[in-house]
Amino acid sequence: MKRDASLMSLSTLTQLLNEGQSTYVCYDLGRLVQPISNDDFAAIEQQQQPYPYPVQGHACFAIVFWPKLATTEQDPYLWFLKFPVDERGLLEQSTVQEFITQVITLLGQQVTHALSAEQEKQLQQSPYLFTPTEAKRAALHAKLSLRWQRSPSIHFELAQTALQEPKHWQQVGVQGLHDVCTRLESLPESAQAIANSFSQYPAPLRQALAIALEHQQLPAELSATFAADIQQHSASDARADLLRSLARQPLTPQLVAAIEHVLAQPSSDEVIICCARLWEAFDPLAQPSVSLELLLDAVATQEPAVFAALITDLLRLPNLRPHVLVMLRRDDLSQQLRQAWQTFTGAN
């Protein structure tokens, strides 16, 4: 296929989609599934702002796009994309340009044309396309269905029933749980059932539900119930699921108290969830916030390999990185944290 020189000069996906006469929406697929405005996505692509939620040094996106003149019945196109970021969280632009070159080589300007089987096979060989977990795909599908006011999946009603009558839980599909959780604001009976029964659900159902809830902003009453329940439960597995469920909630004094309660004597799972899902609660610039020192002291109680993985992860979060570095340079660190940090840096 002959390539247009003007197309090959494109440096961002935003430009590619605009040149292709596409309408598009962007979702973050890093730590949580959540929308990214087109303006923020463009700024991230141009290194005007860091990608805020890197996972193992990568930015993960879902780009959903369709022709501007498409009918409402036409299914959109979907790319799951994964690009490396540097230690500051800035996208490595050369990898984006490489993916754009791959797309233009296959499709030219018509990015919304249907792919042949051979084109699809070639595009899927790109190292920048990836397959998200089943849970993240379900979360995205549920959010898009609600956004476009489409009906939930066929698994929706069974999930509603199982949350109110857990004896049916083994028949529940992942997509059904995500459909319910995405719509909780308009499902007061389901929200109340979850509030009443969450800690009594069978562990597999509770864990799957927590994974679905973590991508949502919960009704305020449910969020408050979970925060209160965290301080009343001694079982670390139930507390860990409650914590995970609160990953996208606005930070309130009640949630701060719940996190502090957990970190006083945390399990490994709870420490990992605090680092990977609730890290924004420890940003000293947030009001209110949880003590970053409290988190780092909890991280220091972990095995050296776990400490290394968690500290590395925290240092990759652009909003938290400078605060962690300042904290670790202090002279009054606890002995355990100082020793763990020195072992990590090889200063011993």
Place of tokens 């999930």: 159
Strand order in the sheet with 58-67: 34-36, 22-28, 58-67, 77-84
Say yes or no to pLDDT of 154 above 70: yes
Residue 27, helix vs strand vs coil: strand
Convert the pLDDT of each residue in 159-217 to its tens digit. 999 999 988 789 899 999 999 999 999 999 999 999 999 999 999 999 999 999 999 99
C-alpha to C-alpha distance for 180 and 159, rounded to whole angstroms: 7
Residue 21's pLDDT band, with cuts at 50, 70 and 90, is: confident
C-alpha to C-alpha distance for 100 and 97, rounded to whole angstroms: 5
> DSSP character for 3?
P
Contacts 24+ apart (CB under 8 A), 84-88: 84/57, 84/58, 84/59, 85/50, 85/51, 85/54, 85/57, 85/58, 85/59, 85/316, 87/315, 87/316, 87/321, 88/50, 88/318, 88/321
C-alpha to C-alpha distance for 89 and 51, rounded to whole angstroms: 5
Convert the pLDDT of each residue in 56-107 to its tens digit. 999 999 999 988 876 556 788 899 999 999 989 999 999 999 999 988 888 7
Amino acid (1-letter code) at residue 41: F
Dihedral over alpha carbons 190, 194, 200, 203 (to 10 degrees): 100
Alpha helices in 216-281 (DSSP H): 220-230, 236-245, 253-264, 268-276
Say yes or no to pLDDT of 277 above 70: yes
